């Protein structure tokens, strides 16, 4: 790892160190309690009846046979929902249980609780639903022409006032498609709802945002929020798929109805129907440039298929629109982005969130333009690279570092990997013995992407942290409590690191996230280290101020190694003496600088908080006759502002990159006429260790003055540009246009 500006790590286990995960021992020992591992006395098991049709009217539901099955405690339908019968992240439009109609395959219709999971499944199978099947709307363009619009975001910016004609010496056009990707977290949706004595519910669940779940669950149960208490259970991956509710309301309903704890665990197939996916997209682009490759304009039309319900489609559309030309200076931009309703599976958040689809298109266009003007693809990108002080298509000035040209140079200047050896495992096809070198051509491709960090468009984005300092067992100890969801990204590690650095105390415990403390916002939008990290830092600083005030002495004081230290290094007091039996606790609600909504006509506005960038270079070997691909190596460079935990940062970059690789060559939920054809890991393929190439990672630390420690969100950027880089490399090897991802063997070979 290359680090350009290294701040000395002054505190052991503090900010800037690769502190170990506090939950690591439990995870390697098999003792970490994931949401599917929970158990309670007298516990019942829930199961869900789902629609087999993408669109149908419900004529009748007969639950008699299910209720009659021994061991069944409850069978509930929409009529049994005591509160709001719909929920939703941004728009409340998704039924808890289908009301009179179903709008996508897999939509929940009824739920069952029984004393054994097998009994619950069998009972569910005995529920008869009479459907009047309707022709589903599955083509997004059809949906658009019918007016089934979730949101239209235009972004219009012109080089000169009053608009200009879109003309240029060099014009390249292209239409691109992105298939539906699944987050495919390994630990399926699950949780345990326990009825409480006060008539409320205690819900233990794997989620990305406890408080947004709480709000929706409480509304549906008809309970005040304080009677719906959520605790974070172990999360087996998220990647956006746990932003929307899955089993939360269902298990709670069953628990309240039966008076018993109810556990629900989705199987893998059900999981494909139990959460939203990445929006499939169709993107038409026109790039105009001078003969020496300077961009003059970009015109784009982006249509994202939101599926049956709104979910987070409005924000995904805004991202695709505002980030739609990539990290380039473009004088004139006309982007029209649409999200539509269809009877396809609902789509919402997945790592990269609208930026992924756009990046595949604009980076494919940049390669096309480079070929057209006879420039090296990296050189073309560098000539158009945005920098600090650039203006986004939204009119927003980019204040912070924007090292786009530097990132491209870093991946370009990495030495190329050697040719494959004779080992079959280094060839396309691996041990399947498809080639001994016949037809194999190497290709190299580049891409760079841009992502917004934190919530945008004027959203009141905040995080809450409670920090308590006291003496425990004769030494100072800190307890950090937030509602922020650790989903594997290492947030609990980072929270403890920040507390150690700010308070000079080694012994830090991070409490289980729950709703007894204020909201932390979602573990999404690459925002949690920024936001909850910022809140923990602010709370620590408040604790520190309170403690130092007790010293009653002017001048600069610091907390180091459990002591109050003066600026000359003299120890003024020990925390143990200063605190005695007292507890100092502060709770802080922390906000990033405000953002503004987008103008609904021009798409102008300071909508985003921070921009993050990553570049990739992919090297592939392609069996051009069979269309099989082996990614040989990926080099990547990313600016993270400040690597709060360098090891975790690199892990995020590697993981995100590999998920982008998956989208490039294998991952797609295949939907035909609204029906998912491959809801299993047999046919929804995720990269194995044999598919993941060695990676060269450059990490830049160019601090953002507005962000805590100068950090920049890390999680999403690597997922964005790795897909177009891999596809560019395959194009370089094959000469095929490859306008759709995932690239399938027949796209290359036929």
List the interface residues with other proteins, window 599-638 (CB under 8 A).
625-628, 630
> Nearest distance from residue 616's CB to other proteins, in Å?
14
Radius of gyration of the chain measured on its C-alpha atoms? 27
Residue 467 is inside which H or E element, if any?
Answer: strand 462-472
> Nearest distance from residue 595's CB to other proteins, in Å?
29
Please select the residue that binds other proteins; options are 231, 387, 390, 434, rule is CB under 8 A.
434
545 binds other proteins (CB under 8 A): no
655 binds other proteins (CB under 8 A): yes
31 binds other proteins (CB under 8 A): yes
End-to-end CA distance of the chain: 41
List the interface residues with other proteins, window 97-126 (CB under 8 A).
99-100, 115-119, 121
List the interface residues with other proteins, window 261-300 (CB under 8 A).
267-269
Rounded to an integer, what distance in angstroms lies between the CA atom of residue 131 and that of residue 90? 29
Which span (316-324, 385-393, 562-570, 644-652) binds other proteins, by CB under 8 A?
644-652
133 binds other proteins (CB under 8 A): no
Please select the residue that binds other proteins; options are 1, 2, 6, 25, rule is CB under 8 A.
25
Contact indicator for 76, 111 with CB cutoff of 8 Å:
yes
Please select the residue that binds other proteins; options are 37, 139, 148, 286, rule is CB under 8 A.
37
Contact indicator for 646, 700 with CB cutoff of 8 Å:
no
> Nearest distance from residue 179's CB to other proteins, in Å?
12
> Nearest distance from residue 116's CB to other proteins, in Å?
3
431 binds other proteins (CB under 8 A): yes
Tokens of 191: 């949780």
418 binds other proteins (CB under 8 A): no
Q: Which residues of 412-431 are buried (b: 16+ CB within 10 A; e: fewer)?
A: bebeebeebeeebeebbbbe
- Which C-beta is closer to other proteins: that of 80 or that of 706? 80
- Which C-beta is closer to other proteins: that of 329 or that of 486? 486
Instruction: Kindly write out the interface string for residues 566-605 of this chain, putting x where it contacts other proteins by CB under 8 A and - elsewhere.
Output: ----------------------------------------
Rounded to an integer, what distance in angstroms lies between the CA atom of residue 203 and that of residue 36? 13
670 binds other proteins (CB under 8 A): yes
750 binds other proteins (CB under 8 A): yes
Please select the residue that binds other proteins; options are 1, 10, 59, 142, rule is CB under 8 A.
59
- DSSP designation for 252: H
> Nearest distance from residue 445's CB to other proteins, in Å?
19
Strands 610-623 and 628-639: antiparallel
Residue 539 is inside which H or E element, if any?
Answer: helix 528-551
- DSSP designation for 367: H
- Which C-beta is closer to other proteins: that of 21 or that of 451? 21
Rounded to an integer, what distance in angstroms lies between the CA atom of residue 305 and that of residue 367? 26
Rounded to an integer, what distance in angstroms lies between the CA atom of residue 406 and that of residue 637? 9
List the interface residues with other proteins, window 151-210 (CB under 8 A).
183-188
Which span (82-90, 223-231, 429-437, 569-577) binds other proteins, by CB under 8 A?
429-437
- Which C-beta is closer to other proteins: that of 490 or that of 703? 490
- DSSP designation for 432: G
Which span (157-165, 487-495, 503-511, 539-547) binds other proteins, by CB under 8 A?
487-495
Rounded to an integer, what distance in angstroms lies between the CA atom of residue 488 and that of residue 28? 13
> Nearest distance from residue 256's CB to other proteins, in Å?
16
Rounded to an integer, what distance in angstroms lies between the CA atom of residue 412 and that of residue 378? 7
79 binds other proteins (CB under 8 A): yes
426 binds other proteins (CB under 8 A): yes
What separation in angstroms does the CA of 103 have from each of 125, 206, 676?
A: 20, 26, 14
239 binds other proteins (CB under 8 A): yes
10 binds other proteins (CB under 8 A): no
List the interface residues with other proteins, window 679-698 (CB under 8 A).
680-683, 685-692, 694-695
Compute φ and ψ for 474, nearest 5 degrees. Answer: 80, 5
Helix axes 717-734, 646-665, angle to 10 degrees: 40
Compute φ and ψ for 726, nearest 5 degrees. Answer: -65, -45
Secondary structure of the chain: what % helix, strand, coil (to 5)?
25, 30, 45
Rounded to an integer, what distance in angstroms lies between the CA atom of residue 498 and that of residue 538? 10
Please select the residue that binds other proteins; options are 108, 352, 428, 445, rule is CB under 8 A.
428
745 binds other proteins (CB under 8 A): yes
725 binds other proteins (CB under 8 A): no
């Amino acid at each position: 790892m290359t680090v350009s500006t290294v701040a000395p790590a002054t505190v052991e286990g503090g900010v800037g160190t690769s502190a170990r995960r506090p939950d690591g021992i439990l995870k390697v020992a098999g003792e970490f309690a994931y949401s599917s591992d929970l158990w309670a006395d007298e516990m019942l098991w829930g199961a869900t009846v789902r629609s087999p049709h993408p669109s149908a009217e419900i004529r009748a539901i007969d639950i008699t046979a299910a209720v009659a099955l021994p061991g069944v405690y409850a069978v509930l339908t929409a009529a049994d929902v005591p509160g709001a019968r719909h929920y939703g992240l941004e728009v409340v439009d998704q039924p808890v249980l289908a009301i009179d109609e179903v709008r996508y395959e897999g939509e929940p219709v009824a739920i069952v609780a029984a004393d054994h999971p097998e009994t619950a499944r069998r009972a569910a199978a005995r529920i008869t639903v009479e459907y009047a099947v309707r022709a589903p709307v599955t083509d997004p363009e059809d949906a658009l022409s019918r007016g089934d619009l979730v949101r239209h975001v235009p972004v219009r910016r012109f080089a000169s006032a009053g608009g200009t004609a879109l003309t240029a010496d060099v014009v390249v056009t292209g239409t691109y498609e992105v298939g539906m990707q699944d987050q495919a977290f390994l630990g399926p949706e699950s949780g345990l709802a326990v009825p409480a004595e006060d008539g409320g519910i205690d819900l233990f669940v794997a989620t990305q945002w406890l408080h947004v779940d709480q709000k929706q669950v409480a509304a549906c149960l008809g309970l005040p929020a304080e009677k719906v208490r959520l605790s974070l259970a172990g999360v087996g991956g998220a990647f956006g798929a746990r932003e929307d509710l899955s089993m939360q309301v269902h298990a709670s309903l069953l628990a309240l109805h039966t008076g018993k704890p109810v556990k629900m665990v989705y199987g893998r197939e059900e999981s494909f129907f139990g959460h939203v996916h990445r929006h499939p997209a169709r993107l038409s682009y026109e790039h105009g440039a001078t003969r020496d490759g300077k961009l003059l304009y970009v015109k784009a039309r982006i249509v994202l298929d939101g599926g049956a319900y709104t979910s987070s489609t409005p924000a995904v559309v805004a991202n695709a629109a505002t980030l739609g030309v990539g990290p380039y200076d473009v004088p004139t931009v006309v982007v029209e982005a649409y999200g539509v309703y269809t009877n396809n599976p609902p789509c919402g958040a997945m790592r990269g969130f609208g930026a992924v689809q756009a990046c595949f298109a604009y980076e494919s266009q940049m390669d096309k333009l480079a070929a057209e003007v006879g420039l090296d693809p990296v050189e073309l990108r560098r000539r158009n690279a945005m920098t600090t002080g650039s203006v986004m298509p939204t009119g927003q000035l980019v204040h912070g570092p924007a090292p786009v040209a530097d990132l491209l140079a870093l991946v370009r200047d990495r030495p190329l990997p050697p040719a494959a050896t004779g080992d079959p495992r280094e060839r396309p096809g691996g041990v399947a013995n498809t080639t001994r070198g016949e037809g194999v051509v190497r290709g190299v491709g580049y891409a760079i992407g841009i992502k917004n960090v934190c919530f945008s468009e004027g959203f009141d984005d905040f995080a809450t942290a409670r920090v308590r300092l006291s003496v425990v067992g004769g030494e100072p100890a800190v307890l950090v409590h937030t509602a922020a969801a650790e989903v594997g990204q290492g947030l609990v590690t980072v929270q403890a690191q920040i507390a150690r650095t700010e308070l000079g105390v080694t012994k830090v415990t991070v409490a289980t996230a729950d709703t007894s403390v204020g909201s932390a916002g979602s573990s999404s939008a690459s925002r949690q280290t920024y936001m909850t990290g910022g809140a923990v830092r602010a709370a620590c600083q408040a604790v520190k101020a309170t403690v130092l005030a007790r010293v009653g002495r002017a001048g600069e004081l610091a907390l180091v190694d459990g002591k109050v230290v003066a600026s000359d290094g003299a120890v003024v007091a020990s925390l143990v003496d200063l605190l005695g039996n007292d507890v100092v606790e502060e709770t802080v609600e922390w906000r990033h600088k405000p953002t503004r909504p987008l103008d609904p006509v021009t798409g102008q506005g300071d909508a985003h908080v921070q921009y993050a960038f990553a570049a990739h270079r992919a090297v592939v070997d392609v069996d051009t006759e069979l269309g099989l691909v082996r990614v040989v190596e990926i080099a990547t460079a990313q600016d993270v502002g400040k690597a709060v935990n360098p090891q975790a940062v690199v892990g995020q970059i590697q993981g995100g990159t590999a998920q982008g690789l998956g989208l490039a060559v294998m991952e797609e939920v295949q939907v035909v006429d609204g029906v998912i054809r491959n809801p299993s890991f047999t046919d929804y393929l995720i990269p194995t260790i044999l598919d993941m190439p060695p990676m060269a990672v450059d990490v830049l630390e160019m601090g953002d003055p507005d962000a805590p420690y100068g950090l920049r969100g890390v999680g999403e950027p690597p997922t964005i540009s790795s897909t177009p880089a891999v596809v560019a490399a395959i194009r370089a090897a094959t000469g095929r246009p490859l306008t759709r991802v995932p690239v399938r063997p027949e796209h290359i070979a036929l």
